[in-house]
Structure 1
Amino acid sequence: MIIGIPREIKDQENRVAITPAGVLALTAEGHRVVIEKGAGVGSGITDAAYGEAGAILRSTAQEIYEEAEMILKVKEPQPAEYDLFKPGQILFTYLHLAAEPELTAVLCRQKVVAIAYETIQLADGSLPLLMPMSEVAGRMAVQLGARFLEKTYGGRGVLLAGVPGVPPANVVIIGGGTVGTNAARIAVGMGAQVTVLDNNPRRLAYLDELFNGRVQTIMSNSYNLARAVVYADLLIGAVLIPGARAPHLVTEDMVKKMKPGSVIIDVAVDQGGCIATIDRVTTHSDPVYIKHGVIHYAVANIPGIVARTSTFALTNATLPYVLKLAKEGFRAAAIRDPALAKGINVLEEKITCPAVAQALQLPYTPLEGILC
C-alpha cells in the first residue's frame, strides 16, 4: 500500500503522523511511504531522517494526496485540504466529527473511508489511540492553567502551590478518566488543592486509592458541580463520550459565580466542550477569551505545543493499526478486529458511527451492512 503523510496545517500544530521508526516498519513490509517535505520539522524530525528510514519526500500536499491510498494525519483535515481527497482513499486521523458537520459532509461527498483514532475502542471500553494524547492534554491543562492564573495573563495572581501561611489554589476537574487523572496527577504534584468530580462511584474509589486521599473525590451531579465550580481557581473540563458531543455540564449561571480572574480549560472542546460558556474554539496563536470575568482556554489541539513528545507517543499507539490497515486493507482488517471497525466513521457516503450520526442528526448506517 502507498501511505501518505502530509504536513499538518492546523494553527500551531507541530505534530506529525509518523516517526522514522514507523516509516521503517512499513517499508520493511513492502509498503511505500510518501511524506511532504518539512512535515516533521515541528517535532524535531528532519527530512533526512525520514529519507534514511525509506520514505519518499514530496514537495506539496497535493502530490501526497494524489499518490497515496491511505492518508495518515494527526488532526482533522482543514478546508484547504477538502478538495484533495479522492474516492476510496483511506483517511486515518483524529476526526471528532460530532462537532464537525461541514467536514462530515465533505468526507461523505468525496467518498472517503474515514477512520477516527478517537473511536477505536477495545472490548473493555478503553480508547487506545485517544489515551496517549489524553495523557498529554491532561498534564498540559494544569501547566497552562498555572500560567493563565498569573496576573500578567489576566489571572487572579494565584500560585497553585501557595506558600506557608497562604493556601494553595483550588483545582476542580470534571471527569475522572484519562484526562482527569493525568490533570490531577500534575496538580497534586504542583501542590494544589484538587477536587475531581465523576458520575462513576467505582472510578472515584479508584482515584481515592490512587492518590491516597490527596484528591477530594465528589459524585458529579448538578448540585455538587455548582458548589465546586464556585470555589475553583482553575476549572478543567475532562468529559468524554466516545464519538459524541460532550454534554454541557457547567452552565453559564455557574460560570457567572466564579471568581474574577479564575481560569477554565475545557479539554473536551474538540467534542463541543462540557462548559456552556465555551462557545468557540480558540487557537494556540490566540488561546483565550474572557467571559463573565473568567479566562476561557478553548484550544482543540493542546498536545501540539509539546509536539515531539506527542508525536512519538501517538505513533507508538497508532502504528500497529496502520500496519494492519496497510497489510490487510480496511475491510479485512475491520472484519478481523472489532476495535478497529468502531473507528470507521464514514464509508461509502454513509455515517457508520452512531454517536456521530446522533450528534449531527443525520442518518446512521450500521457498518456491518456495507463492510462485506
Structure 2
Amino acid sequence: MKIGCPKEIKPQEFRVGLTPHAAHEAVAHGHEVLIETGAGVGAGFSDADYTAAGAKIASSAEEVFAAAEMVVKVKEPQAVERKRLREGQLLFTYLHLAPDPEQTKDLLASGVTAIAYETVTDRIGGLPLLAPMSEVAGKLAPQVGAWTLQKANGGRGVLMGGVPGVGPAKVVVIGGGVVGTHAARVAAGMGADVTVLDRSLPRLRYLDDVFGRDFKTSYASAGNTAELVAAADMVIGAVLIPGAAAPKLVTRAQLKTMKPGAAIVDVAIDQGGCFETSRATTHQDPIYEVDGIMHYCVANMPGAVARTSTIALGNATMPFMLALADKGWRKACEEDPHLLAGLNTHAGHLTYDAVGKALGLKVMAPAQALKV
C-alpha cells in the first residue's frame, strides 16, 4: 500500500503522523511510504531520518494526497486538505467530528473512508489511540493553568504551591479519567490543593485508593460542582464522551460566582468544550477573558511538546496503521471490532452514532459499511 504523511498545517501544530520508526516498519512490511518534505521538523525528525528509514520525500502536500492510498495525519484535515481527499482513499487521523459540521460535510462529500483515532477502542473499553495524547494534555493542563493564573496574563496572581504562611491554589478537576488523573497528579505535585470530580463511584474509589494522600475526590453532582467551582482558583475540564460533543458542565452564569482572575483550562475543547463559554484557541493566542475569568482553550495542547507527543502517538498508532496497510481497511476492521469502532465515514456515509446524534445526521452501521 502507498502510505502518505503530509505536514500538519493547523496553526502551531508541530507533530507529525508518522515517525521514522513507523515508516521503517511500514517499509519492512512491503509498503511504500511518502513523507512531505519538512513534515517531521517540528518534532525533531529530518527528511534524512525518513530516507534512512526507507521512505520517499515528496515536494508538496498535493503530491502526498494524490499518490497515497492511505493518508496518516495527526489533526483533523483542514479545509484545503479535505478538498484533496477522494473516494476509495483511507484517512487515519484524529477527527473530532461531533462539534465540527463543516468537516463532517466535507468528508462525506469526498467519499473518503475515515478512521478516527479517538474512537478506536480496546478490549477493556479504553481508547488506546486517544490515551497517549490525553496523558500529555492532562500533564500539561496544570502547567498552562499555572501560567494563566499569573497576574501578567490576567490571572489572580496565585502561586500553585503557595509559600510558608500563604495557602496553595485550589484546583478542581472535572472528570477522573485519563486526562483528569494526570492533571490531578501534576497539580498535586506542584503543591496545589486538588479535588477531582467524577460521577463514577468505582472510579472515585480507585482514585482514592491509589492517590488518596495526593488529592481529594468528590461526587460530581450539579450542586457540588457549583460549590467547588466557585471556590476554585483553577478549574480543569477533563470530561470525555467518546466521539460525542462534550457536555457543558459550567454555565456562563456560574462564572459570576467564581473568583475574579480564576483560570479555566478546557482540555475537552477538541470535542466542543465542557464550559459554556469555551471556544477553541491556538498556542499563538491561547487565552481570553469572559466575565473576569481567564480561559485557556487550545485545541491541540499536545502540539506544544511535539516530540514527546509524536513518539507517544506513533507507538500507539503503529500496530493499527500496519494492520490497515497489510490487510486493507475492510479485512482489518472485519477481524478487529475495536478498529471498526474507529470508522467514522465511508463512501459518503456517516458511520459513527454519536456524531450523527450531535449533528442530526443519518448514520449507517459500521458493519453495513463494510459491505458498501
Question: TM-score per shorter chain, which class?
Answer: over 0.9
Query: Is 1:290 matched up with 2:297?
Result: no
Name the aligned partner's letter for residue 265 of structure 1: V
Q: Percent identity?
A: 55
What is the deviation of 1:125? Answer: 1.2
Q: Distance in 1 between matches of 2:256 and 2:93?
A: 37
Name the aligned partner's letter for residue 151 of structure 1: K
Contact 1:196 1:218 (C-alpha < 8 Å) held by counterparts: yes
What is the deviation of 1:214? Answer: 2.5
Instruction: Report 1:199-348 matches (<5 A).
Output: 199-278=199-278, 280-348=279-347
Q: What are the Cα deviations for residues 12-36 of structure 1, in whole angstroms up to 9, with x where unaligned?
A: 0000011111111000010000000
Q: What are the Cα deviations for residues 88-119 of structure 1, in whole angstroms up to 9, with x where unaligned?
A: 11000000000111111111111000100000
Match of 2:159 in 1: 159
TM-score (norm 2): 0.99
What is the deviation of 1:120? Answer: 0.3
Name the aligned partner's letter for residue 235 of structure 1: V
What is the deviation of 1:86? Answer: 1.7
Contact 2:116 2:344 (C-alpha < 8 Å) held by counterparts: yes
Contact 1:255 1:277 (C-alpha < 8 Å) held by counterparts: no
Q: Distance in 1 between matches of 2:177 and 2:255?
A: 23
Query: Is 1:66 matched up with 2:69?
Result: no
The 4+ residue runs of structure 1 with deviation greater than 4 A are: none
Instruction: Report 1:80-99 matches (<5 A).
Output: 80-99=80-99
Unaligned 5+ runs, structure 2: none
Unaligned 5+ runs, structure 1: none
Query: Is 1:181 matched up with 2:181?
Result: yes
Q: Distance in 1 between matches of 2:272 and 2:212?
A: 33
Q: Distance in 2 between matches of 1:250 and 1:5?
A: 38
Q: Distance in 1 between matches of 2:231 and 2:369?
A: 51
Contact 1:36 1:64 (C-alpha < 8 Å) held by counterparts: yes
Name the aligned partner's letter for residue 314 of structure 1: L
Contact 1:66 1:86 (C-alpha < 8 Å) held by counterparts: no
Q: What are the Cα deviations for residues 272-331 of structure 1, in whole angstroms up to 9, with x where unaligned?
A: 1111111x2111111111001000111110000000000000000000000000000000
What is the deviation of 1:197? Answer: 0.3
Q: Distance in 2 between matches of 1:35 and 1:59?
A: 9
Q: Distance in 1 between matches of 2:274 and 2:262?
A: 17
Q: Distance in 2 between matches of 1:348 and 1:123?
A: 28
Name the aligned partner's letter for residue 125 of structure 2: G
Name the aligned partner's letter for residue 211 of structure 1: F
Name the aligned partner's letter for residue 289 of structure 1: Y
Contact 2:70 2:90 (C-alpha < 8 Å) held by counterparts: yes
